[in-house]
Amino acid sequence: DIQMTQSPSSLSASVGDRVTISCRTSQSISTYLNWYQQKPGKAPKLLIYGAFNLQSGVPSRFSGSGSGTDFTLTITSLQPEDFATYYCQQSYSTLLFTFGPGTKVNIK
Amino acid sequence: QVQLVQSGAEVKKPGASVKVSCKASGDTFMSYGITWVRQAPGQGLEWMGWISAHNGNTNYAQKLQGRVTMTTDTSTSTAYMELRSLRSDDTAVYYCARKASLGKFGQDAMDVWGQGTTVTVSS
Protein backbone atom coordinates (compact mmCIF):
# COMPACT_ATOMS: atom_id res chain seq x y z
CA ASP A 1 0.00 0.00 0.00
CA ILE A 2 1.09 3.57 -0.66
CA GLN A 3 1.70 5.42 2.61
CA MET A 4 1.11 9.14 2.85
CA THR A 5 2.41 11.76 5.23
CA GLN A 6 1.61 15.44 5.55
CA SER A 7 3.50 18.19 7.28
CA PRO A 8 2.90 20.05 9.38
CA SER A 9 -0.03 18.37 11.11
CA SER A 10 -1.25 21.82 12.09
CA LEU A 11 -0.18 25.40 11.68
CA SER A 12 -1.26 28.83 12.83
CA ALA A 13 -1.34 31.67 10.35
CA SER A 14 -2.80 35.13 9.90
CA VAL A 15 -5.02 36.52 7.18
CA GLY A 16 -2.80 37.54 4.29
CA ASP A 17 -0.06 35.01 5.06
CA ARG A 18 1.39 32.61 2.51
CA VAL A 19 0.88 29.01 3.63
CA THR A 20 2.51 25.86 2.31
CA ILE A 21 1.51 22.29 3.16
CA SER A 22 3.62 19.31 2.22
CA CYS A 23 2.50 15.82 1.24
CA ARG A 24 4.88 12.91 0.75
CA THR A 25 4.16 9.42 -0.58
CA SER A 26 6.03 6.17 0.09
CA GLN A 27 6.45 5.48 -3.61
CA SER A 28 6.36 7.50 -6.79
CA ILE A 29 2.84 8.36 -7.97
CA SER A 30 3.75 10.67 -10.87
CA THR A 31 1.16 13.48 -10.58
CA TYR A 32 -1.74 11.35 -9.33
CA LEU A 33 -2.26 13.55 -6.28
CA ASN A 34 -5.34 15.50 -5.24
CA TRP A 35 -5.95 18.09 -2.52
CA TYR A 36 -9.17 18.58 -0.57
CA GLN A 37 -10.35 21.20 1.91
CA GLN A 38 -12.71 20.29 4.75
CA LYS A 39 -14.44 22.64 7.14
CA PRO A 40 -15.98 21.42 10.42
CA GLY A 41 -19.25 19.56 9.90
CA LYS A 42 -18.97 19.76 6.11
CA ALA A 43 -18.05 17.37 3.33
CA PRO A 44 -14.59 17.70 1.79
CA LYS A 45 -14.19 19.91 -1.27
CA LEU A 46 -11.85 19.18 -4.17
CA LEU A 47 -9.29 21.96 -4.66
CA ILE A 48 -6.55 20.53 -6.87
CA TYR A 49 -6.41 17.40 -9.03
CA GLY A 50 -3.50 15.87 -10.86
CA ALA A 51 -1.03 17.63 -8.54
CA PHE A 52 -1.42 21.11 -10.04
CA ASN A 53 -4.79 21.45 -11.83
CA LEU A 54 -7.15 23.91 -10.17
CA GLN A 55 -10.68 22.55 -9.86
CA SER A 56 -13.35 24.73 -11.45
CA GLY A 57 -14.56 27.47 -9.14
CA VAL A 58 -11.61 27.28 -6.74
CA PRO A 59 -9.87 30.65 -6.14
CA SER A 60 -6.53 31.14 -7.85
CA ARG A 61 -4.78 31.77 -4.51
CA PHE A 62 -4.69 27.97 -4.22
CA SER A 63 -2.01 26.17 -6.19
CA GLY A 64 -0.40 22.75 -6.23
CA SER A 65 3.00 21.52 -7.31
CA GLY A 66 5.20 18.47 -7.25
CA SER A 67 5.54 15.05 -8.81
CA GLY A 68 6.91 11.66 -7.85
CA THR A 69 6.82 11.52 -4.06
CA ASP A 70 6.83 15.16 -2.94
CA PHE A 71 3.93 17.55 -3.33
CA THR A 72 2.98 20.99 -2.05
CA LEU A 73 -0.26 22.89 -1.63
CA THR A 74 0.26 26.65 -1.46
CA ILE A 75 -2.25 29.27 -0.39
CA THR A 76 -1.10 32.78 -1.20
CA SER A 77 -2.70 35.50 0.91
CA LEU A 78 -4.73 33.37 3.32
CA GLN A 79 -8.38 34.44 3.61
CA PRO A 80 -10.72 33.98 6.62
CA GLU A 81 -12.66 31.28 4.77
CA ASP A 82 -9.47 29.25 4.24
CA PHE A 83 -9.18 28.16 7.86
CA ALA A 84 -9.89 24.46 7.53
CA THR A 85 -8.25 21.05 7.35
CA TYR A 86 -6.47 20.07 4.15
CA TYR A 87 -6.00 16.51 2.93
CA CYS A 88 -3.91 15.11 0.14
CA GLN A 89 -5.05 11.91 -1.58
CA GLN A 90 -3.35 9.67 -4.11
CA SER A 91 -5.22 8.30 -7.11
CA TYR A 92 -2.28 6.31 -8.55
CA SER A 93 -3.37 3.02 -7.03
CA THR A 94 -6.97 2.36 -8.05
CA LEU A 95 -7.08 -0.40 -5.45
CA LEU A 96 -6.77 2.06 -2.58
CA PHE A 97 -7.18 5.82 -2.88
CA THR A 98 -5.28 6.69 0.29
CA PHE A 99 -5.72 10.00 2.08
CA GLY A 100 -3.01 11.80 4.00
CA PRO A 101 -3.59 12.42 7.72
CA GLY A 102 -4.54 16.07 7.19
CA THR A 103 -3.18 19.50 8.04
CA LYS A 104 -5.28 21.85 10.13
CA VAL A 105 -4.85 25.55 9.40
CA ASN A 106 -5.71 27.62 12.47
CA ILE A 107 -6.09 31.33 12.98
CA LYS A 108 -3.09 32.89 14.70
CA GLN B 1 -24.79 20.17 -12.00
CA VAL B 2 -24.84 16.79 -10.27
CA GLN B 3 -25.93 16.55 -6.66
CA LEU B 4 -25.61 13.62 -4.28
CA VAL B 5 -28.17 13.32 -1.49
CA GLN B 6 -27.61 10.75 1.23
CA SER B 7 -30.02 9.00 3.58
CA GLY B 8 -30.48 10.07 7.17
CA ALA B 9 -28.62 9.28 10.36
CA GLU B 10 -28.64 5.75 11.74
CA VAL B 11 -28.14 4.27 15.20
CA LYS B 12 -27.24 0.61 15.28
CA LYS B 13 -26.26 -1.98 17.85
CA PRO B 14 -22.97 -3.88 17.62
CA GLY B 15 -23.27 -6.80 15.24
CA ALA B 16 -26.04 -5.22 13.18
CA SER B 17 -25.86 -3.99 9.58
CA VAL B 18 -26.44 -0.56 8.07
CA LYS B 19 -27.25 0.40 4.51
CA VAL B 20 -26.66 4.00 3.43
CA SER B 21 -28.05 5.37 0.19
CA CYS B 22 -26.72 8.09 -2.10
CA LYS B 23 -29.09 9.44 -4.76
CA ALA B 24 -27.63 11.31 -7.72
CA SER B 25 -29.42 13.94 -9.72
CA GLY B 26 -28.53 16.34 -12.49
CA ASP B 27 -26.13 14.29 -14.57
CA THR B 28 -25.62 10.92 -16.26
CA PHE B 29 -25.27 8.55 -13.32
CA MET B 30 -23.80 5.70 -15.33
CA SER B 31 -20.87 7.77 -16.58
CA TYR B 32 -19.10 7.84 -13.22
CA GLY B 33 -17.98 5.86 -10.24
CA ILE B 34 -19.21 6.35 -6.70
CA THR B 35 -16.66 6.36 -3.91
CA TRP B 36 -17.44 5.90 -0.22
CA VAL B 37 -15.32 7.64 2.41
CA ARG B 38 -15.81 7.65 6.17
CA GLN B 39 -14.62 9.87 8.98
CA ALA B 40 -14.62 8.78 12.61
CA PRO B 41 -15.19 11.53 15.20
CA GLY B 42 -12.20 13.86 15.30
CA GLN B 43 -10.28 11.74 12.81
CA GLY B 44 -9.18 11.98 9.19
CA LEU B 45 -10.71 10.66 6.00
CA GLU B 46 -10.71 6.93 5.27
CA TRP B 47 -11.33 5.65 1.74
CA MET B 48 -13.66 2.64 1.86
CA GLY B 49 -13.96 1.70 -1.79
CA TRP B 50 -15.74 2.52 -4.99
CA ILE B 51 -18.19 1.14 -7.50
CA SER B 52 -18.57 1.77 -11.20
CA ALA B 53 -22.13 2.83 -11.93
CA HIS B 54 -21.52 1.71 -15.51
CA ASN B 55 -20.78 -1.97 -14.91
CA GLY B 56 -20.98 -2.55 -11.15
CA ASN B 57 -17.27 -3.32 -10.76
CA THR B 58 -16.07 -2.68 -7.21
CA ASN B 59 -12.82 -2.11 -5.30
CA TYR B 60 -12.95 -2.30 -1.51
CA ALA B 61 -10.39 -1.29 1.09
CA GLN B 62 -8.70 -4.44 2.32
CA LYS B 63 -9.57 -3.80 5.97
CA LEU B 64 -13.29 -3.81 5.10
CA GLN B 65 -13.27 -6.81 2.74
CA GLY B 66 -15.99 -9.26 3.73
CA ARG B 67 -18.00 -6.69 5.68
CA VAL B 68 -18.82 -4.09 3.03
CA THR B 69 -20.90 -4.29 -0.13
CA MET B 70 -21.43 -1.43 -2.57
CA THR B 71 -24.19 -1.56 -5.13
CA THR B 72 -26.01 0.71 -7.53
CA ASP B 73 -29.55 0.93 -8.87
CA THR B 74 -29.27 2.66 -12.23
CA SER B 75 -33.07 2.89 -12.58
CA THR B 76 -33.14 5.34 -9.66
CA SER B 77 -29.56 6.70 -9.95
CA THR B 78 -28.88 5.56 -6.41
CA ALA B 79 -25.78 4.01 -4.90
CA TYR B 80 -25.79 1.97 -1.70
CA MET B 81 -23.17 1.03 0.85
CA GLU B 82 -23.93 -1.79 3.27
CA LEU B 83 -21.64 -2.46 6.23
CA ARG B 84 -22.21 -5.61 8.29
CA SER B 85 -21.10 -6.87 11.70
CA LEU B 86 -20.91 -3.32 12.99
CA ARG B 87 -18.47 -2.46 15.78
CA SER B 88 -18.11 0.65 17.89
CA ASP B 89 -15.17 1.79 15.78
CA ASP B 90 -17.47 1.92 12.73
CA THR B 91 -19.09 4.98 14.31
CA ALA B 92 -18.42 7.70 11.75
CA VAL B 93 -19.82 10.05 9.17
CA TYR B 94 -20.09 8.21 5.87
CA TYR B 95 -19.77 10.17 2.63
CA CYS B 96 -20.46 9.20 -0.95
CA ALA B 97 -18.61 11.09 -3.66
CA ARG B 98 -18.50 11.02 -7.44
CA LYS B 99 -15.25 9.61 -8.82
CA ALA B 100 -14.64 11.49 -12.02
CA SER B 101 -11.82 11.51 -14.55
CA LEU B 102 -10.76 15.13 -14.83
CA GLY B 103 -8.63 17.09 -17.22
CA LYS B 104 -7.07 16.03 -20.48
CA PHE B 105 -5.15 13.20 -18.81
CA GLY B 106 -8.19 11.78 -17.03
CA GLN B 107 -6.95 12.17 -13.46
CA ASP B 108 -9.34 10.48 -11.02
CA ALA B 109 -10.66 12.62 -8.18
CA MET B 110 -13.79 12.97 -6.05
CA ASP B 111 -15.36 16.16 -7.34
CA VAL B 112 -18.91 16.06 -5.97
CA TRP B 113 -19.77 14.93 -2.44
CA GLY B 114 -22.90 13.99 -0.57
CA GLN B 115 -23.76 15.74 2.68
CA GLY B 116 -22.71 12.80 4.85
CA THR B 117 -24.62 10.25 6.92
CA THR B 118 -23.85 9.78 10.60
CA VAL B 119 -23.80 6.16 11.69
CA THR B 120 -23.57 5.54 15.43
CA VAL B 121 -22.86 2.07 16.73
CA SER B 122 -23.73 1.73 20.38
CA SER B 123 -25.21 -0.86 22.69
pLDDT in tens, A42-66: 999 999 999 999 999 999 999 999 9
Distance of alpha carbon B39 from alpha carbon B41, whole angstroms: 6
The pLDDT value recorded for residue A37 is 98
Residues of chain A with pLDDT under 50: none
Looking at the complex, report in whole angstroms how far the Cα of residue B46 sits from the nearest Cα belonging to chain A: 7
In Å, how far are A47, A91, A92 from A23, measured between CA atoms? 15, 14, 14
Query: Is pLDDT at B118 greater than 90 in this prediction?
Result: yes
A vs B, Cβ pairs < 8 A, gives 72
Looking at the complex, report in whole angstroms how far the Cα of residue A66 sits from the nearest Cα belonging to chain B: 15
Measured CB to CB, residues of chain A less than 8 Å from chain B are 1, 31-32, 34, 36, 38, 43-46, 49-50, 53, 55, 87, 89, 91, 94-102
Query: What's chain A's length in residues?
Result: 108
Residues 63-102 of B with CB under 8 A from A: 95, 97, 102
In Å, how far are A4, B10, B19, B82, B94 from A100, measured between CA atoms? 5, 27, 27, 25, 18
Distance of alpha carbon B109 from alpha carbon B123, whole angstroms: 37
Q: Tens digit of pLDDT for each residue in B49-99?
A: 999 998 999 999 999 999 999 999 999 999 999 999 999 999 999 999 999
Q: Residue B5 forms beta bridges with which residues?
A: B23
